[in-house]
Amino acid sequence: MWMNIGTKAQAGSRAKQDAFDPDADRLREECGVFGIFGHPQAAAITALGLHALQHRGQEAAGIVTFDGKTFSSERRNGLVGDHFSSAATIARLPGNMAVGHVRYATTGGTILRNVQPLFAELATGGFAVAHNGNLTNGLTLRRELIAGGAICQGTSDTEVMLHLVARSRKARFMERYIEALQQLEGAYSLVSLTNKKLIGARDPVGIRPLVLGELDGCYILASETCALDIIGAHFIRDIENGEVVVISENGIESIKPFPARVMRPCIFEYVYFARPDSVVHGRNVYEIRRNMGAELAKESGVDADVVVPVPDSGVPAAIGYARASGIPFELGIIRNHYVGRTFIQPTQAIREMGVRMKHSANRSVIEGKRIILLDDSIVRGTTSVKIVRMMREAGAKEVHFRISSPPIKYPDFYGIDTPERENLLAATHSMEQIREYIGCDSIAFLSIDGLYRAVGEQKRNPLQPQFTDHCFTGDYPTPLADIENEGQLQKLAMLAEAS
Ligand code: SF4
């Protein structure tokens, strides 16, 4: 994925973007990956898979294929459908092996050489890699590599993986690959391609998801099951934490090159990132989100006339809340799905109106009502302020804000775009201050144990948490080498801005 350097500038530009893009005030997944081995339509299938994973990243997309002789690559800024729906583009990607990647949109300039899959010609042959996650020692490794003479082309931590494989002294490719993996810390779900193999790898904690599927006898790797559904493939299993799967003409082989660790996948996949029709670790995301709403109703019920979701992400939890509380569910906010980021708003006054571009109040179900407004999470709170104001302007008598996840208090270092801690509303405000800032009559978040109950656990085990949940708890499951060495971060941030 893209390396979180130059964060201050990005945070600033994202804050400006909040003025007109309600979705900017959310945590964002930064990447989705896909790979297929042995299918004559490999590129077209990968394009479809990436299309289903578009919610994981909208800035850029890329596909690398191999046709037995040559690797071909197409990497573009923009949406998958903008570039990979044309027959001409797919024709430029021949071969029966492919890897693909989508990445999240930043507002800063996009550097095309960061767009994945990254590709390098190594002593062992061509090597392409697509990465979902973030290496917490990516900058440390990068500095060591540069000190040792490596020339980095982009600002991506994924590039470190190419260098580590290239510089390994091991003879066989898989030995090199595993030696490289063993130097990485943080979150990675990788899909890689060589001239003989499709390789999937998941970090020892299993923070970001990765699944194995099958279509027409061909193996597929993808971030989520929705990418299998779109092509009619069937789900085989999740790739395990710390597992490397090697797919070749000889079939599939599973390698476990790390000491065994307990899996702790990211719980936020259930809260927001994953598509509701995906099944993540055996749990249907839509059902889990409904459970979150039901738990929230049990924990913080309030007398009201209607339950109104903030669309689209608040809808399943609002359905669960309405069912559990017996209060009717109503679509009190209508979302316009045809608003793109390309709409340039020339003045502040027009930008202030921007929230209504995507969301508008359905006055007929709001006016004179006591409403329970349901959203999945609060990051900075800027959008929540506007939506509550919109409800009041539409005549709501009372607005009770309910959030189907706990307060986000800590930044992510595992591949999710979060503002700095001081910009996370819940990190710097008491509950009453949050209520006052947002302008609602009451506010309540789901408790951390309520979230765990919603995903099917009895409660969070503080000694051995079942999930990675540190945006809520501050309990980081891996070392944070880069963060501990901030001088180094600054130095490389300048490098990033110059590129
Ligand atoms: S901070 Fe942890 S729980 Fe939150 S999104 Fe990131 S990996 Fe997931």
Pocket test of ligand 1: the residue of 416, 455, 476 to mutate, having most ligand atoms within 8 Å of its CB, is 416
Ligand 1, residue 273: give the atom nearest the CA.
Answer: 5
Is the per-residue pLDDT at 129 higher than 90? Answer: yes
Is the per-residue pLDDT at 18 higher than 50? Answer: no
Ligand 1, residue 412: give the atom nearest the CA.
Answer: 1
Distance 141 CA to ligand 1 centre (A): 23
For residue 265, the model assigns a pLDDT of 96
Q: Are 271 and 448 in contact (CB under 8 A)?
A: no
For residue 338, the model assigns a pLDDT of 74
Task: Assign 423 a pLDDT band (cuts: 50, 70, 90).
Answer: confident
User: Closest Cα to atom 4, ligand 1: which residue?
Assistant: 471
Distance 478 CA to ligand 1 centre (A): 12
Ligand 1, residue 208: give the atom nearest the CA.
Answer: 7
Catalytic residue among 31, 266, 440, 471: 31
Is residue 31 flagged as an active site residue?
A: yes
Query: Could you give the CA distance from residue 384 to residue 281 in angstroms, rounded to a whole number?
Result: 31
| pTM more than 0.85 | yes
User: Closest Cα to atom 8, ligand 1: which residue?
Assistant: 266
Ligand 1, residue 469: give the atom nearest the CA.
Answer: 3
Is the per-residue pLDDT at 493 higher than 90? Answer: no
Task: Assign 416 a pLDDT band (cuts: 50, 70, 90).
Answer: confident
Per-residue pLDDT tens digits for 163-197? 999 999 999 999 999 999 999 999 999 999 999 99
Task: Assign 490 a pLDDT band (cuts: 50, 70, 90).
Answer: very low
Distance 418 CA to ligand 1 centre (A): 9
> What's the whole-number mean pLDDT along residues 45-59?
95
Q: Which of 205-209, 240-244, 382-386 has the lowest mean pLDDT?
A: 382-386
Is the per-residue pLDDT at 20 higher than 80? Answer: no
Percentage of the chain with pLDDT > 70?
A: 86
> What's the whole-number mean pLDDT along residues 83-112?
84
Distance 169 CA to ligand 1 centre (A): 35
User: Closest Cα to atom 6, ligand 1: which residue?
Assistant: 412
For residue 2, the model assigns a pLDDT of 37
Per-residue pLDDT tens digits for 213-241? 999 999 999 999 999 999 999 999 999 99
Distance 387 CA to ligand 1 centre (A): 25
For residue 12, the model assigns a pLDDT of 36
Pocket test of ligand 1: the residue of 451, 471, 473, 476 to mutate, having most ligand atoms within 8 Å of its CB, is 471
For residue 166, the model assigns a pLDDT of 95
Distance 245 CA to ligand 1 centre (A): 25
For residue 29, the model assigns a pLDDT of 62
Distance 29 CA to ligand 1 centre (A): 10
Pocket test of ligand 1: the residue of 412, 451, 466 to mutate, having most ligand atoms within 8 Å of its CB, is 412
**Average pLDDT over the chain, rounded to whole?**
88
More confident residue, 104 or 269: 269
User: Closest Cα to atom 5, ligand 1: which residue?
Assistant: 268
Ligand 1, residue 269: give the atom nearest the CA.
Answer: 8
More confident residue, 263 or 346: 263
- Ligand 1 binding pocket (C-beta < 6 A) is 27, 207, 266-268, 412, 414, 416, 468-471
